[in-house]
Amino acid sequence: EAQVTQNPRYLITVTGKKLTVTCSQNMNHEYMSWYRQDPGLGLRQIYYSMNVEVTDKGDVPEGYKVSRKEKRNFPLILESPSPNQTSLYFCASSLDLAGELFFGEGSRLTVL
Amino acid sequence: TQLLEQSPQFLSIQEGENLTVYCNSSSVFSSLQWYRQEPGEGPVLLVTVVTGGEVKKLKRLTFQFGDARKDSSLHITAAQPGDTGLYLCAGAEAGGTSYGKLTFGQGTILTVHP
């Protein structure tokens, strides 16, 4: 089954404690992206990757890092989480930049 | 980044009513996508419109892309409780260094009461 898998689905952490949200897709998609979703703000892009070893900032990259060492994986790293990073995070992949996005089920992160 | 204004933000209607959701921008898009998201899940693509003036139908849902490719609408006829969800539009930038980049609207939360 074609899918994008994120882990963890839910996480409560404390300020400053590094965390990683993993994302994996099995569709051989070139393009992967991370979004955060906050009430009234829609989906805002954090980082995206056009291919292996190619990553670029989205609209709200501050406080986040990503890597794309393999085509299927695109982890999101919060080196020192802060409460304003409490949000619902989605990983997505597509064949190309403007193609249909396939989303994971989301990771709800709370930073205390 | 181009801005997409989506309206209304909230819509609460009775089963059987019709509704329209709007997605507007001052910028031109090469294409526009509509997604639907249910609680606890990620958005799922409903349709992509590419040509100015294009109209696509998906059962009771009608999608239209503006002639100038700056706006789009989603019309639902005879809404049903199963239509309840968050509807998101996303435009692909038409030029410049961000060509193809998707920008999402704020979303419309639709609730259809039985």
pLDDT digits (tens, 9 = 90+) for B33-53: 999 999 899 999 999 999 999
Please state whether B17 falls in left (phi above 0), alpha (psi between -120 and 50) or beta. Answer: beta
CB-CB: which of B1, B6, B30 is closest to A98? Answer: B30
pLDDT at A109: 98
Q: Which of residues 28-67 of B touch A (CB under 8 A)?
A: 30-31, 33, 35, 40-45, 48
The three-point CA angle B97-A55-B41 to 5° equals 100
The H or E element that residue A13 is part of is strand A10-13
| Best to test chain B binding among A36, A59, A101 (most B CBs inside 10 Å) | A101
pLDDT at B7: 95
- Of the pLDDT bands very low, low, confident and very high (cuts 50, 70, 90), residue B94 is confident
B62/chain A closest Cα distance in angstroms? 19
**Percent over 70 (pLDDT), chain B:** 93
Chain B positions in Cβ-Cβ contact with residue A103 (cut-off 8 Å):
42-44
The three-point CA angle B91-B97-B103 to 5° equals 20
Chain B positions in Cβ-Cβ contact with residue A90 (cut-off 8 Å):
42-43
Residue B7, CA distances (Å) to B29, B36, B40, B74, B76 in order: 18, 15, 23, 11, 14
CA distance A48 to B11: 32
Tally Cβ neighbours within 10 Å of residue B19: 19
CB-CB: which of B44, B88, B101 is closest to A42? Answer: B88
pLDDT for B99 beyond 70: no
The three-point CA angle A44-A47-A53 to 5° equals 160
pLDDT at B101: 80
Q: Do B48 and A100 touch (CB under 8 A)?
A: yes
Which runs of E-coded beta strand occur in B25-70? Answer: 29-37, 44-49, 55-58, 61-65
- Of the pLDDT bands very low, low, confident and very high (cuts 50, 70, 90), residue B96 is low
pLDDT tens digits along A78-112 = 999 999 999 999 999 999 888 899 999 999 999 99
Nearest CA among B8, B30, B12 for reference residue B90: B30
pLDDT at B1: 59
pLDDT tens digits along A24-78 = 999 999 999 999 999 888 899 999 999 999 999 999 999 999 999 999 999 999 9
